Amino acid sequence: MEKALPESVQGPYLSGQLSPHEWQQLFELTPLGIGIFDREFRCRYANEAFAGFSGLPIAELLGSKLSDISPSQAPLINQQAGQAAFRPSSIGALHPHKIGHGHAICSPMQDEHGAPDGLLVIVHDFARASDQHITPIGLQGTASRQFEQLCQAQARLHHLAYHDALTSLGNRSLLQERLELELKTAQLNQQKFALLFIDLDGFKQINDTLGHRAGDQLLRLLAERIRRCLGQRDLAVRLGGDEFLVLLPCMDRQPTLTVLVEQLQLSLHAPAELGHDRVTPSASIGIALYPDHGQSPDRLISAASNAMREAKRRGRNGYLFYSHRMAEQMRERMVLEQGLLKAMEQQQFRVLYQPMADLANNRLSGLEALLRWQHPSEGMISPARFIPVAEQCGLIEQIGEWVMRTACQQGQRWLAQGLTVPRLSVNVSVREMQSPDYVERVTAILAETGFPAERLEIEVTESIIQSVDQSLRLFTRLKALGVQIAIDDFGTGFSSLSLLKSLPIDRIKIDRTFVQALPDDKHSRELCRTIVHLADSLGMAVTAEGIETQSQRQFLQSLRCEEGQGYLFSHPLSKSHLATKLTPHCSALC
């Protein structure tokens, strides 16, 4: 929710005020030359009349110093450069100077907090005014007050044009102008500068939970925290939503920059009171340097944005400098994302099936459906490479639903042919299960394919069970359908006994990294022994993944582990190659 315009510019019928459009016309049509200069006496705004007096086009005026436009102002600028602060008193006493063929009157400007914010220069041709009976504004009496009101109105309009209405930070227009100016300055002086891209973590959840008013309050609070961390020449802007950019001129020393970034993160991470609620915000920050990471505004912003996204992907509440390797990864991710869309359209995905075996007699005890991408030019692409991209770009729900439907359809065909399918396992991502209609989609697939719910096993990772209440509701609904639930890659997450005993879980699958070190590695032996005993005490079955040798199988069997999966029994197979292993007479796997 954005703020409305200030009352002074809300409409032409409130206290006789003019609209922003009318003010803009006034400044463009007035015979007065109007120039706005920042605290370093660089031109931020000039109308056509000012350009006419100076003899320079507006494009050249913007960013130029007042001393270059009017050499008579050089003593003023040299005097001010040596002062610690920009004091209006020293400027307000100026006598008129010449700019081109016009007379210039200088007046200090203030921001909305009353702090010095720059210089207003008004230029007028007195001789021409006399000929046309125009009273020069800004000299004395009533005319002086009118002139001051005009200056104040222009300052408000300028602020609205270059600042964010919600936070009062700069906006995109101000960023673009300052970036172009800093690029020219850095090129001339062979200096570096830094650009920080800041994105709040979990801001949408705060908006959804506490409301947009609280979200706006948090944005204003964090914008002020950013402002307090910055120096006089630094610029902070709000791009929109919960995204901010910070421009840091003259950043030649990376240690100094790192200290500033860490101060920013600490400040942003401090608790915030939002009405009756207390939140602890955090942010991910991407850093780009000129000229190392880009030599144009667009490239620098893109580099900082990419670094921020990578910082967020690595765990949030961190910062990261852009690297060219990161650019390669982003390009690969983009290619994969576009390829995934085409793969769905052109049916490039394949489902393979890997058998699971009873360790006591080597007989088939189940099948796991495994997704593969048969790329037309790259060949078979591993799911470890494309599944994370599918999750990030939002395609995983569509792909996951296709895998489950395809596997259930094939399982029902085998059953209809009289073949043995004891159990069919399908991997499901956390993002899929977090969809509010996930159980309904599973129900629809079972009804559509006719595959028995009691023979379907859904494999989930440990991360889904960290939220016990949510997982309990979800698992209870799935169990009501008759579906079995297995925890995949067990031992790599952070599950605790209290979590496991609270949830209706049927099976634990020991991760292959522990199985492959058997039987020689002591830690792997003890971990596998503990998992098997834990599962037995909770009434859960155990499957050991990644079994490749007889010694691994024999050790697991000695622990009374019932089921195994791995190359010792079978590689993943296509549906046609698997058919012979499903017949009742040929169900021994090795």
Tokens encoding 153: 């109105």
Q: What number does CATH give the domain 7-162?
A: 3.30.450.20
Looking at domain 397-570, its CATH architecture is Alpha-Beta Barrel (3.20)
Determine the Cα–Cα distance for residues 242 and 204; give it in Å rounded to an integer: 9
CATH of 172-322, one of 1.10.1040.10, 3.30.70.990, 3.30.450.40, 3.30.70.270: 3.30.70.270
Tokens 């100077």 belong to: 97
pLDDT score of 489: 77
pLDDT score of 135: 41
CB burial of 71-91 (b: ≥16 within 10 Å; e: otherwise) equals eebeebbeebeeeeebeeeeb
- Asked if 564 and 359 count as a contact pair (C-beta separation under 8 A), the reply is yes
- Positive or negative CA dihedral for 315, 319, 324, 327? positive
- Asked if 305 and 286 count as a contact pair (C-beta separation under 8 A), the reply is yes
* Burial classification of residue 443, based on how many CB atoms lie within 10 Å of its CB (0-12 exposed, 13-18 middle, 19 or more buried): middle
pLDDT score of 209: 81
Tokens encoding 159: 């602020």
519 preceded by a cis bond (ω within 30 of 0) = yes
pLDDT score of 77: 55
HSE, side-chain direction, 13 A CA sphere, residue 124: 21
pLDDT score of 300: 93
HSE, side-chain direction, 13 A CA sphere, residue 263: 13
- Asked if 34 and 122 count as a contact pair (C-beta separation under 8 A), the reply is yes
Task: Tell how strand 102-110 and strand 97-99 pair up.
Answer: antiparallel
- Positive or negative CA dihedral for 558, 562, 565, 569? positive
pLDDT score of 206: 85
Q: Which pLDDT tens digit goes with each residue over 50-91?
A: 888 888 888 889 888 888 887 765 555 544 443 433 443 333
| Domain ranges for the chain | 7-162, 172-322, 397-570
pLDDT score of 92: 34
Determine the Cα–Cα distance for residues 111 and 328; give it in Å rounded to an integer: 44
Strand partners, 34: 122
Strand partners, 354: 368
In 149-258, DSSP assigns E strands to 193-200, 235-240, 243-248
Q: What is the DSSP letter of 7?
A: G
pLDDT score of 138: 39
The DSSP result for 567-578, as a single string, is TTT---B-HHHH
Per residue of the chain (590 residues), what is the pLDDT tens digit?
A: 443 434 433 444 444 556 677 777 777 777 788 888 888 889 988 888 888 888 888 888 988 888 888 776 555 554 444 343 344 333 333 334 556 667 777 777 777 766 777 888 888 764 444 344 444 433 445 555 555 666 566 566 666 778 888 998 999 888 988 898 888 888 888 889 999 999 998 888 888 888 888 999 999 999 999 999 998 889 999 998 899 999 998 776 767 888 999 999 999 999 998 888 888 899 999 999 999 888 899 999 999 998 998 888 888 888 999 987 877 777 777 888 888 888 888 889 999 999 999 998 888 999 999 999 998 888 888 888 888 888 878 889 999 999 999 999 999 999 999 888 999 999 998 888 888 899 999 999 999 999 999 999 999 887 776 666 778 889 999 999 999 999 887 765 544 555 677 788 999 999 888 899 899 888 889 989 988 998 888 899 999 999 999 999 999 999 999 999 999 999 999 988 887 777 765 556 65
- Asked if 565 and 545 count as a contact pair (C-beta separation under 8 A), the reply is yes
